Structure 1
Amino acid sequence: MLITPYGWPTTVVHAMAKSYQPPYTITPSIIRLISDISEQLGRLSVLEGEKNLRLRRINRIRTIQGSLAIEGNTLSEDQITAILEGKRVIAPPKEIQKARNAIKAYEQFESWQPANEKQLLQAHQVLMAGLIDDAGRYRKGNVGVMNGEAVVHMAPPASRVKKLMGDLFSWLAASDQHPLITRSVFHYEFEFIHPFADGNGRMGRLWQILILSQWKPLLAQLPVESMVHAHQSEYYQAINLSTQKTDSAPFVEFMLGVILETVQSTAGNNTQQVGQQVTPQVEALIKALFRVDKPLTRNELQTDLTLKDRESFRECYLKPVLDMGLIEMTIPDKPNSRLQQYRLTEQGRKLAGTFT
């Protein structure tokens, strides 16, 4: 019987003749989850708003906190926010360093390409700087995954890591499978190989988000890691079950379920938030812009709304609507420009259409 590079029989591999293919089965559950995620993402794209930078920042902090918490880091979202803002935080130095590294890694996130192995090593260098001696390099020793005193997974020998990772990246570059499947399979295979001396969980989750962001940029803004943390025991169970079955389908199903739950939760929270924050003043400003169907200056808006107090207009009308991502500036780089105008975002237009 032929054996794959991971020691698995080729009967469970959807293989091409000369290139390695990770073993996975596309189950009816996987197909259904992909359909549900795609549908929910379509709805969320309207609610999210491409210009909602505040919400993106909040979700990024939640992502970092969730990924670190899975590895035992005790920093809260508030503490990570403080670190991001350069404030002093009282916590173990190593935990602070991990948070700083994660923040730096996500700042460079958009410059990396998923199928570039060298960039994965660069990302590991950033993520593990000051924490281990061989940051940015594959491990030289053998490692196992422990659960207390028990070894739950013995990773392949260090001598095989470079070849296995090369095969995995070749598959990733050539795969024509749906990105949701590709991302989950890569994540499982990465954790199985365990290519680094430390930081494998954080790197695997970082890279899976990078893969997904190439398909739907919105997914890079959602706190999937927080949801994984909420289902941490199931996360490890799915990895172990996939290993036992020599088929990553259980892990793929788990991760797709987590993504769906995250998208649904985010959409629900955003809908509730918008509903709660649409004050009469917000509604009036949105209606004014929707009615004229063109950008207006601040003075034009105040005139249309018969408002004279500039400070009241800014605090009760303009600022809340900008913060909610319902309107945007025509010159965002120069907020105080005398030529500044304001227009509805796509999210604002959708909301305006619900007003009677």
Structure 2
Amino acid sequence: MDNMSAINEPPFTITPTIIRLISEISEQLGRLSVLEEEKNLRLRRINRIRTIQGSLAIEGNTLSEAQITAILEGKRVIAPPKEVQEVRNAIQAYEHFERWQPTNEQHLLKAHQYLMAGLIDDAGHYRHGNVGVMNGKTVVHMAPPANRVKYLMADLLNWLATTEQHPLITSSVFHYEFEFIHPFADGNGRTGRLWQTLILSQWNPLLAQLPVESMVYEYQSAYYQAINQSSKQSDSAPFIELMLQIILETTETASTHHTPQVTPQVTPQVIALLKVMVHPGTVYNRDELQQALKLKDRKSFRERYLKPALADGLIEMTIPDKPNSRLQQYRLTEKGLELSEKTGKSFRK
């Protein structure tokens, strides 16, 4: 840097959408703070498990919430050793989460060291080689040269420490710029998402408890698309808008489904599915349900919404002997309806 006193402002535009989303998120957080007293330690733990599962799933980790819970409890889990190590690392990182300051470079390096211990040789150190971000066999982003990383990160952390922008904006700008710089040989995605959550939690502690990572996983393709779009136009507004939309949906889900009576097996995704099946006895096809939930990813819908709801007997197929039939439809079961009423969310019109 030619002038160490100058602070380089990352390029971003504050759009009307961003302003609206900040207002709506703040409103939802206000509602949630009233409900927070009801929220016990068990539910916070469930959300932490969902956060870890969501963030690692983006990186290809296949472990379920049940397996992560088992690892957390010190039980043996039969799974690929690398994936078990990733989960143990994430648990370790989140245990130290509240001790870190977002603007402290040493804390950031320590977080990376926890997340990547035993997975890469230089955990906790900036990369020494040049890297390209790949999508399959295509290079979608050439990261800045390795010899610029330390300066670029110092610049970014300096900006974070001095900016007067809203934390919802600064956390998203930091997240995008961090992924653009790609300061580590590996583990940039999970570290960037962890650091955005850290920045947000210092603004509002509720955001440390909400599984934002799970929602990022739901929008995985949109997440990478927003990063690419921001890079193409040298303006992180598309990424900021997407992250704020994800945060808003997370707070809305928590506010709507905030109830200690829901068992750990009933995820927010399953409850959201039950909610859109508003009329008991009415049948819905897959496209209708996906559209109602505003989900584009068919695989994610099947794995995180349909399959758990079917497994718990909360919904049923109209053609159970041909599960993959194109004519397949779904309806609420008595158990599904009973759950909706028990949790004070009767979906009957």
Task: Tell me the TM-score normalized by structure 2.
Answer: 0.73
Q: CA deviation at 1:19?
A: 1.5
2:22 aligned with 1:39: no
Q: Which residue of 2 aligns with 1:80?
A: 68
2:131 aligned with 1:149: no
Larger radius of gyration: 1
Please tell me whether the aligned partners of residues 102 and 199 of structure 2 are also in contact (alpha carbons under 8 angstroms). yes
> How is 1:40-119 mapped onto 2 (pairs within 5 angstroms)?
40-49=28-37, 52-119=40-107
Q: Which residue of 1 aligns with 2:127?
A: 139
2:24 aligned with 1:20: no
Work out the CA distance in 1 between the residues paired with 2:53 and 2:34: 26
2:198 aligned with 1:210: yes
Q: Which residue of 1 aligns with 2:243?
A: 255
Work out the CA distance in 2 between the residues paired with 1:88 and 1:258: 34
Work out the CA distance in 2 between the residues paired with 1:156 and 1:120: 19
Q: Which residue of 2 aligns with 1:176?
A: 164
Q: Which residue of 2 aligns with 1:243?
A: 231
Q: Which residue of 1 aligns with 2:215?
A: 227
Q: Which amino acid aligns with 2:146?
A: A
Work out the CA distance in 2 between the residues paired with 1:183 and 1:173: 11
Q: Which amino acid aligns with 1:253?
A: E
CA deviations on 1:188-208 (whole Å, 9 max, x unpaired) are 000000000000000000000
Please tell me whether the aligned partners of residues 39 and 259 of structure 2 are also in contact (alpha carbons under 8 angstroms). no
SS at match of 2:6: coil
Q: CA deviation at 1:271?
A: 5.2
Work out the CA distance in 2 between the residues paired with 1:261 and 1:169: 28
User: Could you list the runs of 5+ residues in structure 2 that have no partner in the other structure?
Assistant: 263-343, 345-349
Q: CA deviation at 1:50?
A: 6.9
Q: CA deviation at 1:18?
A: 2.5
Q: CA deviation at 1:272?
A: 9.2
Work out the CA distance in 1 between the residues paired with 2:7 and 2:255: 40
Q: Which residue of 1 aligns with 2:253?
A: 265
> How is 1:297-308 mapped onto 2 (pairs within 5 angstroms)?
none
Q: CA deviation at 1:48?
A: 2.8
Q: Which residue of 2 aligns with 1:284?
A: none
SS at match of 1:146: strand
Work out the CA distance in 2 between the residues paired with 1:185 and 1:34: 14
Q: Which residue of 1 aligns with 2:331?
A: none
Which of 127, 152, 156 in structure 2 is aligned with 1:164?
A: 152
Report runs of 4+ in structure 1 exceeding 3 Å deviation. 271-274
How many residues end up aligned between the 2 structures?
A: 261
Work out the CA distance in 2 between the residues paired with 1:241 and 1:118: 31
Work out the CA distance in 2 between the residues paired with 1:48 and 1:214: 17
Q: Residue 81 and residue 237 in structure 1: after superposition, are their counterparts in 2 closer, same or farther (change >3 A)?
A: same
Q: Residue 192 and residue 231 in structure 1: after superposition, are their counterparts in 2 closer, same or farther (change >3 A)?
A: same
Q: Which amino acid aligns with 1:225?
A: E
The alignment-based identity, stated in percent, is 76
2:111 aligned with 1:123: yes
> How is 1:325-340 mapped onto 2 (pairs within 5 angstroms)?
none
SS at match of 2:119: coil
RMSD: 1.7
CA deviations on 1:287-339 (whole Å, 9 max, x unpaired) are xxxxxxxxxxxxxxxxxxxxxxxxxxxxxxxxxxxxxxxxxxxxxxxxxxxxx
Work out the CA distance in 2 between the residues paired with 1:85 and 1:272: 21
Work out the CA distance in 1 between the residues paired with 2:73 and 2:121: 28
Work out the CA distance in 2 between the residues paired with 1:48 and 1:250: 31
Work out the CA distance in 1 between the residues paired with 2:131 and 2:28: 39
Please tell me whether the aligned partners of residues 175 and 196 of structure 2 are also in contact (alpha carbons under 8 angstroms). yes
SS at match of 1:240: helix
Q: Which residue of 2 aligns with 1:188?
A: 176
